Amino acid sequence: MTLETMPFSKALNAGLRKAMEDDPRVLMMGEDIGKLGGVFRITEHLQRDFGEKRVLDTPLAESGIVGTAIGLAMGGFRPVCEIQFDGFVFPAFDQITTQLAKITNRHEGAVSMPIVIRIPYGGHIGAVEHHQESPETYFAHTPGLRVVSPSTPNDAYWMIQEAIVSNDPIIFLEPKSKYWQKGEVDLELSAAPLHSSRVVRTGTDVTLVGHGAMVTTLLQAAALAESEGTSCEVIDVRSLSPVDYGPILDSVRKTGHMVYAQEAPSFNSLGGEIAATVMERAFYALEAPVLRVSGYDAPFPPAKLEGTFLPDADRILEAVDRSLAY
């Protein structure tokens, strides 16, 4: 085991570098990702070390970025596209959902689309409109796309590499508020397969489930609950499509209670889908309904109000108390 402590952003950079070293067909595309290294410096020094033909600064045209990547994938390359901020992905939405997601099926499996689309998403950075969205449901709802989101530096390092070697198109959601979080990265062994959920804290009373930046908040809530005598198990979903339900169902059958937390609004959300599935498949193990804690069903507010909009440990603990009160 070779462990190295690094921020989430550097773990992503190291993972991208390793993927480029391992396969000359891997190339990067995006706005300001070359000389600047991206607005979050995720691609820092990659153009310097691999050249302008493999790390391409593109025009400000998300539809053009994804459309070009589709053509490159058809030509045998493995493009990795960076969307600068979550709210900027929608000009490329048509390319992603009506072309990229469907081409392999359209050709009966004869044409693969090994494309990764990296999207920084979520709040907690005090940004302006279109810079703090949570668009995961749009993509998880689209057949033909795989959607993943790491929550730790170790997962960031391994999951980006595993996404790049996949022959399916993958939406790679990066919780931007975690870019500066430091953690240990095992440079020799992945913690879990790409499309798997993982128990990150064991407990016996309530199952807390979430993805991305919300995993940290769930762990904070679990620590506070423990001080009050309640044992919470925390599960990081990691893969939003497909969802690995095994660890979630095993935990719910043990605890009898579940709370799902997410930054996205509640209506028609990933949390709602997972809650419904758990209630279908583990109904007789549940001692209370699955509860959800989420952002509100409203546009993301100005930065000064994001603390009210985004779920925190107190809102999660309130849901834990309601679940145990049934």
Could you give the residue numbers annotated as active site? 131
Cα(184)–Cα(200) distance, integer angstroms? 14
- Which amino acid appears at position 55 of this protein? V
Phi, psi of 186 (to 5 degrees): -85, 110
Query: What's the Cα-to-Cα distance from 304 to each of 128, 135, 162, 301, 307, rounded to whole Å?
Result: 10, 21, 37, 8, 7
Residues belonging to the chain:
326
Contact 84, 29 (CB under 8 A): no
**SS3 (DSSP) at 265:** strand
Name the token pair of 30.
Answer: 């995006």
Query: What's the Cα-to-Cα distance from 219 to each of 7, 110, 189, 201, rounded to whole Å?
Result: 19, 44, 24, 8
Here the contacts of 220-226 (C-beta below 8 Å, separation 24 or greater) are 220/313, 221/313, 221/316, 221/317, 221/320, 224/313, 224/317, 225/317, 225/320
